Every structure is written in C-alpha cells, then in structure tokens.
Amino acid sequence: MRIPPNMSRARPDLPDLPPPAALSGIVDRFAARAGLRRKIAEALPGDAVGLAFDPDRFAAGTPLLAETPPAALAPEFLQAASLLLPELPDIFPALAGEAATLRQALAMRPRLAEPLTAALAGGSEEDMRALADEIGLAPGALVFLAREALAAVLRARARTLSLLADDALWHKPTCPVCGGPPDCGMLKEQPEPSEFLIAKSGRLFLHCSLCGHQWRFPRLKCVVCGEGEQEQLDVLYPAGRDRERIHACRSCGHYLIVLNRVESVRDTDLDAAPAALIHLDAAAQARGFSPICDTPWNRLE
C-alpha cells in the first residue's frame, strides 16, 4: 500500500522479523561476506596518497576517487585478493576452484590487477570477458571474486575519505567516495544544526554497495531519476512490518530497499542487512520494479 511520507512517526518500534526460513542459508553467507570485507579492509593501508580534493568538482558531482587511476589501486587490489581468496571459499564453497584459479593467476601475473580494476570501475563487460578467457574463469565468477577484492580496497580508502564527503555538497544517487551504487537506504534521526532540533520524520541515508560509505539523500525523491512528484512515488511494506520498506518510483520503474530506524536504538549492520531482505526484493520485482543496484541475491529471475 502507499502511505503518507510522515506516517512512520506515529508507529511503534516493531522488532525485526527474520526472512523466510528457506533463505536463511543465503542470508548467513552474505552476512559472513560482509564481515570478511571489513576484516580485509582493516588489514589494508587505506591512505589516500596524492589525492587532491577539489570542493568545486566534488559539488559538481565528481566522486573523490573518480580520477584515481587503476594503477594506483593495483597494489592494494593484489594484497586484498591474496588475503580474501583463501578465505572466501569457507563462505561460498562452490567457488573454491574459481578462487584458487584467480589466486594463482594473480600470483603468476600480477599485471592483471590493473586491467581488472579498470574493467570493474568502468563496467566494461567486453574487457571482463577477455580477462576471464585469459585467466580461465567464467565471467560471472571473475566479476564476483574481483569485485570482492576491490570492495575491500575501496572500503579501506573510505576510512579516510569519508571525512571529506560533505553531505551539504553531495545529494547525488551514487557514492561520494567511490561512485558506487547504493544497495539500500536507512531512515534515521539526525540532529539539525541546532542540537535541540531533530528531524522526527527521519532523514534518508544511502549505503554504498562497494565501500560501505553512507551519505544523505533527499527523502522524497527517486534515487534513480530524481522524480519528486509524490503521486509517482510509492512506499510499500509488509503488513505489521513497516520498518522494512520498498521505496518505488513509477516514473522510472526502480526501487530501493529502505530500513526505518527513526526513534529506534537498535544497531543496524547495513553491510549485511540488504541480503536479509530478499523477501522485499521479491515483492518489488513481482510488481514490475527493478532494483537500483544489481546484487548476487536480488537477481531473482
């Protein structure tokens, strides 16, 4: 159903309910993946050496890492891959062979790190297929494994760069740190400049699917197309569970999963939460909407 944007202010803080039992194994695996990403990122330096911060370019929509060449990320990518690939099969046993193949390829041909990061950053399917053929992997497996290593690198960089990502200058639908797409959002209370004022209706923060940074975005606006007409924007939620929401846009046909944590003291792990809300992805896609960010768990076709 559609609800008025401020109705959540009058609703109690309901306990989160688990997803369907049949999905618990998937949820557990991606929760473990989130933990592994954080662990690997903590082992990386994350220094933004040589970064020239230009507030004008940032305000115009250029992410902080947009002009970082792949060669600058290659050493950290190799380090992240060397730490991650031996452990990832513990979470995804079906990828043990592929992880070993990529690990061996990077050890023997470290030059592959630069074209891999470039293909991931540029979204080049053709380049990725060529690299997959060279390494001897299926393109989908290579994208998943290499993306996990790159995500750890970007998360390490975000430790420093998040301090420069001023929400007052950035109201864009992609991450101000790395340019990645959001995989979910969260409504939460946020103090106004005066410490005595709090936005009780909640402010929307988007969560980057790559580096994990969170940034503020206008709440009553489509993340994809910028639609602001309320008749075109729906908020859907399961009966009795209005803290789990689907923000859907009729204009462009996209949706975003959003957790409402206004007036809640519960900690939420946004790195792991999206995979636990597959039932919302299924509901949104059954209504003809498409996800803003493709993830391994929301490709339900």
- For residue 193, pLDDT over 70 is answered with no
Long-range contacts, 49-58 (Cβ 8 Å, 24+): 51/161, 53/164, 55/166, 55/169, 58/164, 58/166, 58/169, 58/170, 58/176
pLDDT at 209: 95
Considering only residues 262 and 130, tell me which one the structure prediction assigns the higher pLDDT: 130
pLDDT at 160: 86
Structure confidence at residue 6 as a pLDDT band (50, 70, 90): very low
- For residue 227, pLDDT over 50 is answered with yes
pLDDT at 20: 60
Residue keyed to tokens 């074209």: 115
Q: Which of 117, 110, 106 is nearest to 70 (CA)?
A: 117
Bridge partners (DSSP) of residue 20 are none
Considering only residues 126 and 199, tell me which one the structure prediction assigns the higher pLDDT: 126
pLDDT at 167: 78
Long-range contacts, 296-299 (Cβ 8 Å, 24+): 296/30, 296/144, 297/26, 297/30, 298/274
pLDDT at 5: 41
Burial 21-34 (b: 16+ CB within 10 A, else e): eebeeebebbbbbb
Bridge partners (DSSP) of residue 206 are 185, 215
Residue keyed to tokens 């209005």: 242
Element (H, E) at 75: helix 70-84
Structure confidence at residue 13 as a pLDDT band (50, 70, 90): very low
- As a whole number of angstroms, the distance between CA 277 and CA 119 comes to 29
For the record, the structure tokens of 145 come out as: 């494994």
pLDDT at 50: 57
DSSP code per residue over 262-291: TT------TTTGGGGGHHHHHHHHHTT-EE
Bridge partners (DSSP) of residue 290 are 254
Hey, what domains does the chain have and what are their CATH numbers? 43-162 (no CATH), 167-291 (3.90.1670.10)
- As a whole number of angstroms, the distance between CA 173 and CA 225 comes to 9
Bridge partners (DSSP) of residue 245 are 258
In 218-265 the beta strands, taken as DSSP E runs, fall at 233-236, 244-249, 254-260
**pLDDT, tens digit (0-9, with 9 covering 90-100), for 22-57:** 666 788 899 999 999 999 999 998 776 556 778 888
Q: CB–CB of 30/272 below 8 Å?
A: yes
Q: CB–CB of 207/158 below 8 Å?
A: no
